[in-house]
């Protein structure tokens, strides 16, 4: 089993269950979020939308701010459409609404601390990296991809010394250049990697596609059933190929 992002609830609720049941797991840490230093941009989107839902009268104030920037659009639509490249505008909108992301980090502490992660490692769990700031990995240019992997891996190795260097692609392994894994191997940046596309199979050495068990539209039982069906079809197709 694998768990991404380094959320505090994984330490408080998930890890005790895994230990009780004797289940091993890998926890992939987004290193910028370690010790609640920074907030994931998608969490910022959620906080902004929640603030507007609780204070609908402030939508007009935010839309007036947007109009000053030459943007004619509803506040909620504009927030929802904000992606990683435009993430810094979320801070400006929060400032316009007197909403503090730093206060949220200080009060709620959504991510694990270094001490908590070190305890997970002592309890036998493997600690890996999930990149620096959860950028959509496949959308980064090749230099930034290598930079995100190498810098975040260095932080994980320096702080937690895992015996196996593991990496999970933020938002999956889509749109990678064909030579990505070759470059990573030449630079010796990791031992194992994990993606999201379990249903499309895998031919890359030491790379393991994963299958989501927390899909919002289907139950875990249905997810496993679909995975088994796919694997069975893949096996039949492999057997039917000419030798």
49/79 same-domain check: yes
For position 242, what pLDDT does the model report? 47
Tokens of 133: 């700031």
Residue 53: strand, helix, or coil: helix
- Report how far residue 182's alpha carbon sits from residue 91's, in angstroms, rounded to the nearest whole number: 37
Mean pLDDT check: name the lowest of 18-22, 131-135, 139-143, 220-224. 220-224
Q: ∠ at Cα 14 (116, 220), nearest 5°? A: 150
- On the question of pLDDT at 24 being above 50, the answer is yes
Residues 48 and 148 in one domain: no
Per the structure, the count of domains in the chain is: 2
13 within a domain of the structure (yes/no): yes
In this predicted structure, what is the pLDDT of residue 230? 65
Which of 88, 108, 128 is the endpoint of a domain?
108
pLDDT value at position 241? 44
Same domain for 82 and 121? Answer: no
Task: Write the pLDDT tens digit of every residue in 211-228.
Answer: 777 766 778 788 778 777
> Span 83-93, mean pLDDT?
95
User: Tens digits of per-residue pLDDT, 101-124?
Assistant: 999 999 999 999 999 999 999 999
User: Average pLDDT for residues 14-24, to the nearest whole number?
Assistant: 97
Instruction: Specify whether 60 is located in the same domain as 175.
Output: no
Element (H, E) at 129: strand 126-129
Residue 198 has pLDDT above 70, yes or no: no
Same domain, 122 and 179: yes
Running DSSP on this structure, what letter comes out for residue 111? B
Average pLDDT, the chain: 90
Q: Are residues 16 and 124 in the same domain?
A: yes
What is the domain-level CATH number for residue 182? 3.20.20.370
Q: Is residue 69 one of the residues assigned to a domain?
A: yes
Residues 173 and 57 in one domain: no
**Are 150 and 132 in a shared domain?**
yes
11, 169, 172, 188, 209 from 133: Cα distances, Å: 20, 12, 14, 22, 21
- Domain-embedded: residue 208: no
Q: Say yes or no: 7 and 59 in one domain.
A: no
As a whole number, mean pLDDT of residues 141-154 equals: 97
Range list of H helices, the chain = 8-9, 15-21, 41-54, 58-68, 75-80, 88-96, 101-108, 114-122, 142-160, 180-187, 220-240
Instruction: Please provide the DSSP assignment of 170-213 as one string.
Output: TT-STT--TTHHHHHHHHT--SEEE-S-GGG---STTEE----S
More confident residue, 227 or 193: 193
Q: Which has more confidence, 216 or 185? A: 185
Domain range for 84? 41-108
Q: How far apart are the first and last CA of the chain?
A: 35
Confidence of residue 243 (pLDDT cuts 50, 70, 90): very low
Q: Do 16 and 129 have their domain in common?
A: yes
199 in a structural domain: no
What is the per-residue pLDDT for 237?
57
Kindly tell me if the per-residue pLDDT of 197 is higher than 90. no
Domain boundary among the residues 89, 108, 127 is at 108
The pair of structure tokens assigned to 67 is: 């109009």
Q: Which residues of 124-148 are buried (b: 16+ CB within 10 A; e: fewer)?
A: ebbbbbbbbbbbbbbebeeeebbeb
Is 127 strand, coil or helix? strand
- Domain boundary residue, one of 82, 108, 134: 108
What whole-number percentage of the chain has pLDDT above 90?
69
**Exposed e or buried b for every residue in 164-200, given b needs 16+ CB within 10 A?**
ebbbbbbbbbeebeeebbeebeeeebbebbbbbebee
Domain-located, residue 204: no
pLDDT at 141 over 90: yes
In this predicted structure, the answer to whether residue 33 has a pLDDT above a threshold of 90 is yes
pLDDT for residue 101: 98
Pair 64, 23 in one domain: no
Given this model, what pLDDT does residue 225 score?
80
Domain assignment present for residue 143? The answer is yes
């Amino acid at each position: 089993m694998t768990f991404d992002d380094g959320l505090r609830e994984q330490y408080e609720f998930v890890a005790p269950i895994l230990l009780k049941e004797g289940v091993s797991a890998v926890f992939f840490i987004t290193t910028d979020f370690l010790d609640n230093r920074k907030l994931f941009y998608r969490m910022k989107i959620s906080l902004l939308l929640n603030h507007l839902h609780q204070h609908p009268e402030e939508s007009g104030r935010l839309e007036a701010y947007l109009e000053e920037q030459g943007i004619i659009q509803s506040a909620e639509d504009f927030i929802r459409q904000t992606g990683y490249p435009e993430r810094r505008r979320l801070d400006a909108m929060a400032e316009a609404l007197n909403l503090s992301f730093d206060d949220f980090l200080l009060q709620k502490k959504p991510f694990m601390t270094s001490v908590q992660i070190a305890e997970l490692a002592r309890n036998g769990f493997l600690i890996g990296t999930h990149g620096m700031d959860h950028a959509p990995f496949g959308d980064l240019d090749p230099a930034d991809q290598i930079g995100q992997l190498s810098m975040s891996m260095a932080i994980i190795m320096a702080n937690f010394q895992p015996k196996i260097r593991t990496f999970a692609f933020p938002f999956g392994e889509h749109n990678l250049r064909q030579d990505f894994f070759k470059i990573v191997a030449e630079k010796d940046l990791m031992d194992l990697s994990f993606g999201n596309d379990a249903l499309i199979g895998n031919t890359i050495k030491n790379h393991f596609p994963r299958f989501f068990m927390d899909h919002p539209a289907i139950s875990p039982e249905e997810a496993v059933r679909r995975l088994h069906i796919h694997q069975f079809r893949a096996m039949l197709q492999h057997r039917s190929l000419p030798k």
